Structure 1
Amino acid sequence: MKIKLWLFIYATVLDYVLVCCFSYSGFSPLFVTWKKVVNGGEPRLRGCIGTLEARCLINGFKDYALTSALKDRRFPPIQARELPSLECTVSILTDFETANNYLDWEVGTHGLIIEFTDPEYSTRRSATYLPEVAAHEGWTKVEAIDSLMRKAGFSGPITESLRKRIRLTRYQSTLFALHYSDYASYVKTTRGAAPSILGAKPGNY
């Protein structure tokens, strides 16, 4: 992958953080999500990676912008030709709380971290969904929990007894989203020319 693409991915998030999120400078858990918008349709996930450990936001967004774009194993690395269709969202995670049970959270408000013991292998499993996932998928609380258990790698039967043994942590997030066209317009306004990315089709921004 060309270095110019790496620099673009870095600049997209870092510039946005510096301009729009400066008041959030400090340390926090964070995620970076890339989505692709094609022909005006609904954005489709293209990469999402982050950390539940507190990180310096500026360095963290830089690192995870690259990681989520290039190293999410669910997807091939983002290519330069895709850039005009991309939307980037940075999530700052806050307000972590231990829930009373696996239903003690609100769809559309809380992100989830589940931890449980796989009864077949006696191994600990865990996984997380950001706050917007369950609402976007149209899931009930139970459907979201069951999906998260599968994401954690559990392949056995999901019973009510097993759900009740889940340790659930809920959290909230602050989101900042930026489409490539908005980023290009910002660069053109502040620097006098739209970004030129090797391998990407030129556009009118």
Structure 2
Amino acid sequence: MAASCCGTKKQKLNNSTSVPSAHNGVSTMINGHKNGMVALPEMCFFCFDVLYCQLHSLDPPKTPSFCNDAYPLFVTWEIGKGRRLRGCIGTFNAMNLQSGLREYAITSAFKDSRFSPITRDEFSKLSVSVSILRHFEDASDYLDWEVGTHGIRIEFYNEKGNKRTATYLPEVAPEQGWDQIQTIDSLLRKGGYKAAISNDMRRSIKLTRYQSEKVSVTYNEYMNHWNTQRC
């Protein structure tokens, strides 16, 4: 089951290996992967390859060489110099990275309901980010997490008694300049809660915090990589 994730317009659980949060694609592992970072630029290059082949009705790219371990993951497409969000979808279910990135590179580009599908004309203006999610923990309450360190996933019941969920990746709150309360309230609205938000409502939330490694690549970096591979 897919989930949209990022930004003010911007949401599944498995795997709990500890890792500190990533910033601008840089992170240091604690109890982690034998090669340090799990998220690598090659994963972003692969997402670009997948999207290019899909846009031009070509056979899918060959199997990549990066590791194929299973993790929850998100793929985020942005466009233009201002890096406007263009699509962001992923899964909290651990997926093998090679098939998971192949799937969500396409899903986030074409099936994010907030946006029209990405077109060929937009391809050269894109940037892509891969987020590998790790270190899932049940929070003791709705404030048991840190802005800029944790992504959060909330579960709550709306006015009609229906269970709803919503999530933001770790970078969303600092990018928006939100504190914890503002982030929680935005997530409630994102999840479809329409009534006034009280402290009792906030306290009723079940919150899961997590951390991520994030790596990003622009179209120009992708082309430099592609040209290097040809040489």
Normalising by structure 2, we get a TM-score of 0.73
Cα distance, 1:44–1:88 mapped onto 2, change above 3 Å? same
Deviation at 1:99, TM superposition (A): 0.5
In the aligned structure 1, how far is the partner of 2:90 from the partner of 2:155? 18
- C-alpha change, 1:6 and 1:148, in structure 2 (3 Å) is farther
Identity %, equivalent residues: 47
Q: Which residue of 2 aligns with 1:161?
A: 200
TM-superposed deviation, 1:25? 3.1
Q: Which has the larger radius of gyration?
A: 1
SS in 1 for 2:132: strand
Alignment of 1:124-143 (within 5 A): 124-143=163-182
Root mean square deviation, CA, Å? 2.0
- Report the equivalent of 1:55: 95
CA-CA distance at 1:4 after TM superposition = 5.3
Where 1:109 maps in the other structure, the secondary structure is coil
CA distance in 2, matches of 1:6, 1:52: 30
> How far apart are the structure 2 equivalents of 1:134 and 1:170?
13
Letter in 2 for 1:26: D
Task: Find the counterpart in structure 1 of residue 127 from structure 2.
Answer: 87
Q: What TM-score results when the alignment is normalised by the length of structure 1? A: 0.82
Alpha-carbon distance change, 4 to 124 in structure 1, aligned in 2, over 3 angstroms = closer
Contact residue 6 and residue 66 of structure 1 kept, 8 A: no
Q: Alpha carbons of 1:154 and 1:4: their partners in 2 closer, same or farther (altered >3 Å)?
A: closer
Q: Which amino acid counterpart does residue 149 of structure 1 have in structure 2?
A: L
Following superposition, the deviation at residue 80 of structure 1 comes to: 1.0
In 1, distance between residues paired with 2:146 and 2:52?
43
Larger % of helix: which?
Answer: 1
The whole-number CA distance in structure 2 between the counterparts of 1:34 and 1:143 is: 25
Map 1:1-205; keep pairs closer than 5 Å. 5=55, 18=65, 22=66, 24-38=67-81, 42-118=82-158, 120-192=159-231
For this pair of structures, how many residues does the alignment match?
179
What is the one-letter code of the residue matched to 2:93?
E
Give 3-state SS (helix, strand or coil) of 2:171's partner. helix
Cα distance change on mapping 1:2 and 1:176 into 2, 3 Å: closer
Q: Distance between the aligned counterparts of 2:53 and 2:181, measured in 1?
A: 44
Q: State the distance in 1 between where 2:52 and 2:227 align.
A: 22
**1:12-58: CA deviation from partner (whole Å, max 9, x where unpaired):** xx75xx4xxx3x530010000000123xxx21100000001111111
Aligned-partner residue type, residue 164 of structure 1: R
* RCO higher in structure (CA 8 A, sep ≥6): 2
